[in-house]
Chain A
């Protein structure tokens, strides 16, 4: 059955569905037992949005405490718990589920597959992540057992030994933390294996690796990186659990163990993790920037090579988190140089995105606004990273707010901006409706202003000597005004995120009808209906170039004639 409204004939099975009104329980049952990659993707994304709001609320509480000197909004203990939970939540329960949500939803559609390689493993991975998240937050009420007061982990998200030993962290807060990271870690491993098997084993006919959309490429690279990144963390958490429960001595200096070994193990995970989080941002940029500049991506092979290069180099830079530990000068030099080397492939990426925009007919719709801001902020975050990679400079500013400003510039200024851009870009595909442009502009500008007020200012308090992880400071330090400005910026960002959440819900009911291909894009996911049917493609598509939809729309000038 040929359907004239779709570029590929027979994309949809036009048999009318059997109409049946579902009860609430049936609806719930469908979502809980689903193995459809699109639904699991959405579950991941809902999970992340919830934790984005939770982690954001924690950040705002921290900022209220720090807005004025000598404040007593939070107790010191609560403050420690909140910043530990803020960090852990944002990295493990917000950032990584976003990655898997986007990858789950979009990768099979982009490579012309009907589902992920292992649908049941996919559901299993999601539910492990979900239960891990629930377990972490249960520590608020169960950390000292149900009889005691709540006791969430308060050891910071990098949890250096010996603070995590039984003597200094009684109760079960740290155990909940370690166990929930083991559980979510296994979920992450399952998800990564699934993405690799899908990308390598499920591509439609003609989609060679070098014709694959860059989004799928980045997801392949990030999954490969996850295999060897998340597992060292799991191993280290197992050691910590052995120390705490079975009386082991891995990190116990009184029995010959070493606290520095934990630091190494943690950052062997912790630094590549930053790239794990930023790769989805690259992936989104690789899709949005060409489509809204009306040009194919500049330097496709260089982009692939740079991604793989970043993944490799990122495995050898972890000890730049440890310059103040007292390593030998040879070690310091090695990690300074390897860290600076990351700037090369990253620079290739930035220049390629700029070259894609250069001379293009740029349409500044909301997704492109976010991705343009992403480019500038990512550059600045990278530059402060290069500054901090220089060991003597790091000795001055280690554990100061300058470091906090640097990595929030990366995590918020680059990653969160790109994720928001991705939301506005793919929302029409997922729901069949456009997100409101007007609310989108409000969201973008408020978030941009709030972001810069907060995190630009944070660099200065850092340079003035304000250390991280302190809950209070003396008025005589002179940091009060700047901290007030930082907190006000945080409030503006909070309002912007609420506008975004409102937009998500409002547009679902009241948004403009989107059609199948609202952005005039080129990858396969836009060739099917919005939202896509359960089976994605009734007929397996066949591709002959990197931009299959361009070929179909422009039969007079197809891409494959240039390959």
Chain B
């Protein structure tokens, strides 16, 4: 993945560049996580329509438009935050960062309401039928990742409010933002599979 950064036999000692460890590690983690999601998505697709008894996705699922807009736009906002930090505008960075966090939290709350309706009004739990099992585990797996992202985002926000975040932390912040972008990208897949293909 970063073999391109080094040209063999053409690296004199004074021009010695290595890829950043943080980025390499985050990309590795994203590759590993993608494999986990692939397994769950494959299981979901394979089991579409295989449930022997109801309720079916068509009967109970509603498309979470609001939450999706919030989550996807947070990817853009976090990019604005990254840019603000690059230009050393700490206050602006803090504002965009807090907005990203808020959008992520709204998404989780939206999912919470969706699940509450499903469980208490429409009677779909993880053990009701095969559809329930695959639905809650895939969407729940993604929500867990959002939760971990929110923990990371909040940590940075606390440090920002304490005045500890400076321009030199740009790269670390960008590594964390990579994870957030990944969580958003996965939602595109999950959304397509669960609410469009599966419905």
Contact = CB atoms under 8 A, between A and B. Distances in A.
Interface string B22-61: 1011001101111110111001001100111100000000
B16 interface: yes
A118 B127 contact: no
A231 B35 contact: yes
Q: Determine chain B's interface SS by DSSP, over half rule.
A: helix
A203 B134 CA distance: 44
B6 A209 contact: yes
A236 B3 CA distance: 32
Interface of A: 117-118, 189, 192-194, 196-198, 200-203, 205-206, 208-211, 223-224, 227-232, 234-236, 238-239, 242-243, 246-250, 252, 254-258, 261, 265, 268, 542, 563
Contacts of A234: 36
Nearest to B49: A256
Interface of B: 2-3, 6-9, 11, 13, 16, 18-22, 24-25, 28-29, 31-36, 38-40, 43, 46-47, 50-53, 126-127, 129-130, 133-134, 137, 141
A249 to B, nearest CB: 5
B25 A193 contact: yes
Contacts of A268: 39
Given A201-B24, A256-B52, A261 B16 contact: no
19 contacts: A197-B24, A200-B2, A201-B21, A208-B7, A227-B28, A228-B34, A229-B35, A235-B36, A246-B126, A248-B126, A250-B130, A252-B130, A255-B51, A255-B129, A256-B47, A261-B46, A265-B43, A268-B39, A542-B13
A250 B141 CA distance: 15
A159 to B, nearest CB: 16
A235 B21 contact: no
Contact of A208 (B6, B34, B39, B53): B6
B25 A197 contact: yes
Contact of A200 (B18, B33, B46, B129): B18
Contacts of B40: 235, 239
A117 B28 CA distance: 13
B77 to A, nearest CB: 28
Nearest to B5: A200
B35 to A, nearest CB: 4
Contacts of A243: 133
Given A193-B28, A209-B6, A231 B50 contact: no
Contact of A206 (B7, B16, B51): B16
Given A197-B22, A228-B32, A250-B43, 13 more contacts: A117-B24, A200-B24, A201-B19, A201-B21, A206-B16, A227-B31, A231-B32, A235-B36, A249-B130, A255-B52, A255-B129, A265-B39, A265-B43
A211 B18 CA distance: 14
B171 to A, nearest CB: 12
A242 B133 contact: yes
A318 B25 CA distance: 27
Contacts of A235: 35-36, 39-40
Contacts of B11: 206, 208
